[in-house]
Amino acid sequence: MIRVLIVDDSLFVRKVLRDILEKDEEVEVVGEAKNGREALESIYLLNPDVITLDIEMPVMDGLTTLREIIRNYNIPVIMLSSFTKEGAQLTLKALEEGAFDFMPKPSNLFSLEGQVFQTELLNKIKVATIANRNIVYNSEIIRRNTDNLVSIRQEENTDFEYIIAIGTSTGGPRALKEVIPLIPKNINGAFVVVQHMPPKFTKSLADRLNSLSEIDVFEGEDNAILKRGCCYIAPGDFHMRVIYDGSHFRLKLDKDSYVKGVRPSVDVLMSSVAKLDNIKVIGVIMTGMGSDGTKGVVEIKKVNGYIIAQDKESSTVFGMPKSAIETKCVDKIVPLNRIADEIIQMVGV
């Protein structure tokens, strides 16, 4: 049995979450708490396997509670966040500080009882119990010294040799923070990224990475021209493709059907990049559950692209990298802290 502690200041939410979780024979709700202080007392007494933690609570908020849990216990935490810009920013902060994953609360709380929410929450709780909780991340970003390199005016430069397509899911926001900020501003390529996240959250992720990075990081927009030294993150609930219009590489967004239950899809992005001519391609698969990206790396390999996969030891969840590795198309398996160096070595500046 997976022992779960529910922490939320809303009695209604606690009841709905308990009803959802107790429908599953593998899950047992061992307790509830209405604020962070009660949660910390309950953890000591109940010894849960997983904690669901609301971000906004009185007495002790979710972020403060999370920090105490990370400091004193080795228990995976799934944050529950409001579907707002502020909620997205707080969620990213929680993920950076050690939360395993998150679930956005729908604006209509009765939607918590919907089948999609129930299935996703239960899946995340089960994956959390087998995830790698021994990962050590850099607490600070060490920016590269590129003062001696020629500065590039990003807004004008569309001349580059590589497109680097990155796919990631569970654990991805923290992992991307260990890669994108280490890329030098005059890298000889453009980055396109799929991180499985809902709308609003991808914009906050792009803004956060942009504030930490030498390269410019944006949430992708339809028809945006790819530029050297820039990174484009697929917006939540949109597939993102790269096309060539005869003069420039551009992004195309659409709401075609979900692929393997997700939108945006890594497979969709990577397959589009594999179809491009006159450009070199690198595919990178990082931490995440499931197998999204597996078809994409095969397509990239068919056109002589280079494939990098994150290793098991540094992945929060090894599902996506493992599935990619099993295709025999991966050229290099490296720990998270070497992915940026591997890309720079291949692409150059």
| Structural fold of domain 2-128 | Rossmann fold (3.40.50)
| Options 81, 271, 292, 323, the catalytic residue | 292
- Select which of 42, 169, 291, 314 is catalytic: 169
pLDDT of residue 5: 97
**Nearest Cα to 99, choosing from 72, 126, 62?**
62
Phi, psi of 288 (to 5 degrees): 165, 155
Q: Which architecture characterizes domain 162-347 according to CATH?
A: 3-Layer(aba) Sandwich (3.40)
Task: Provide the pLDDT for residue 141.
Answer: 56
- Which residues lie closer than 8 Å to 119 by C-beta, 6 or more apart? none
Residue 108: predicted pLDDT: 63
Cα–Cα distance for residue pair 285/295, rounded to 1 Å? 11
pLDDT in tens, 250-259: 999 999 999 9
Could you tell me the two tokens for 317? 């969840």
Residue ranges of the chain assigned to CATH 3.40.50.180? 162-347
- Ordered alpha helix ranges (H), 168-293: 172-177, 201-212, 266-274
Answer for the pair 83, 107: CB distance below 8 angstroms, yes or no: yes
The residue from 196, 213, 314, 323 that is catalytic is: 196
CA angle 128, 130, 133 (to 5 degrees): 75
State the pLDDT at residue 158: 72
Per-residue model confidence (pLDDT) at position 140 = 59
* pTM across the whole model: 0.90
Q: Which residues of 70-89 are buried (b: 16+ CB within 10 A; e: fewer)?
A: eeeeebbbbbbbbeeeebbb
Strands annotated E in 186-327: 189-195, 216-219, 230-233, 239-244, 249-254, 280-285, 306-310
User: Is 169 a known active-site residue?
Assistant: yes
Q: Is 19 a catalytic residue?
A: no
User: What's the CA angle centered on 270, arms 268 and 274, to 5 degrees?
Assistant: 115
Query: In whole angstroms, what is the distance from residue 274 CA to residue 45 CA?
Result: 53
Q: Look at residue 116 in the predicted model and tell me its pLDDT.
A: 82
- What's the pLDDT score for residue 259? 96
Sign of CA dihedral 146, 339, 297, 232: negative
Residues lower than pLDDT 70 in the chain:
83, 107-113, 136-156
Beta bridge partners of 191: 164, 231
Q: Is 239 a catalytic residue?
A: no
pLDDT per residue as tens digits for the range 39-68? 999 998 999 999 999 999 999 999 999 999
User: Which residue stretches of the chain are H helix?
Assistant: 11-21, 36-46, 62-72, 85-96, 115-128, 172-177, 201-212, 266-274, 294-302, 319-325, 339-347
Q: Where in the chain are all domains bearing CATH 3.40.50.2300?
A: 2-128
Find where tokens 């997983």 sit.
50
Give the pLDDT score at 211: 94
